[in-house]
Amino acid sequence: MTDTRIPVTEDELHAYVDNELPVERRAAVEAWLASHPEDSARVESWRAMSAALHEAYDSAADETIPKRLEIENLVRRPRRWMMAAAAAIVLAFAGGGTAGWFAHGVNARPSAYAAFAGDALDAHRLYVVEVRHPVEVTGDERPHLQQWLSRRCGYQVRAPELDSNGLKLVGGRLLPGAQSPAAFLMYESASGERFTVYAAKTTIQPTQMRYITNDGNGAIFWSDHGVGYVVSGPVDHDRLQQVARQVYDQMDKAQL
């Protein structure tokens, strides 16, 4: 028999929201929620967030996972990029950023931008729809997250503070990159809007910001000090540029 007096765990609450809770525990969880209004409110907020994310991103979630993100391909390095796929990703390039952000010229080939930004956009689309497991290390472990990613990526990784843009750090994870491991950070607004920052070592020369769109998502790419950065989010150029500039400002100051 199921003991309804057993305290309900957070994992069980998540499973209840996702309809993954064993039938024999459902009655106990519902009884718990009826007598614990704070947990009941949390469950309702998770349901609302899940509904909002599904409405915004279901079309992307239903798509086939790109070959280069399939498990058997993640461990293969270096990876070969198909030029046709790269060309399809670059739908629009525009010089982003305020005058004076970079003094360097544009020296990298468009295909190099496309490969790097395409990797970041694929990761963004894959993880931004996740409710329970969007990251490996949560944002409340920021020091550990930065230290871990720095050690694995081979450069000083910093998780930018984006609170002034209404974005809270959800957390991050380690991803394979074309040339080296990549740091992947996720941020979220109070309304559930999500942005990601993808960064990895690159041989692409320091360059101005480039705005890219693909399948309802926008991204801004730039490279500096041997590291490439991509800030991805909804296709709102002004909003995306605002977030990217704040990321750039903090990364630039960190290099001084």
CA-CA distance, 104 to 207, in Å (whole number)?
6
Are both 56 and 157 inside the same structural domain? Answer: no
Q: Give the domain extent around 26.
A: 10-60
Are both 96 and 207 inside the same structural domain? Answer: yes
Q: Is residue 172 packed enough to be buried (19+ CB in 10 Å), middle (13-18) or exposed (0-12)?
A: buried
172 strand-pairing partners: 137, 185
CA-CA distance, 16 to 122, in Å (whole number)?
29
Per the listing, tokens 């046709």 go with 84
Q: Is residue 183 part of a domain?
A: yes
Winning range, highest mean pLDDT, from 45-54, 67-76, 91-100, 236-245: 236-245
Are both 205 and 132 inside the same structural domain? Answer: yes
Are both 143 and 235 inside the same structural domain? Answer: yes
Are both 242 and 117 inside the same structural domain? Answer: yes
- Is 107 a residue whose pLDDT tops 90? no
Would you call 42 helix, strand, or coil by DSSP? helix
**Residue pLDDT, tens place only, 143-166:** 999 999 999 999 999 999 999 999
Q: Is residue 70 part of a domain?
A: no
Q: Is residue 72 part of a domain?
A: no
Number of structural domains found in the chain? 2
Are both 120 and 164 inside the same structural domain? Answer: yes
Are both 173 and 239 inside the same structural domain? Answer: yes
Detail the DSSP E strand segments found in the chain: 95-96, 137-138, 168-175, 182-188, 194-201, 207-214, 217-224, 227-234
Supply the pLDDT for residue 246. 94
Say which range, 78-82, 147-151, 228-232, has the weakest mean pLDDT: 78-82
**Residue pLDDT, tens place only, 46-68:** 787 777 666 666 666 566 666 65
Confidence of residue 172 (pLDDT cuts 50, 70, 90): very high
Are both 92 and 136 inside the same structural domain? Answer: yes
- Is 133 a residue whose pLDDT tops 50? yes
Strands 217-224 and 227-234: antiparallel
Q: Is residue 40 part of a domain?
A: yes
Are both 133 and 36 inside the same structural domain? Answer: no
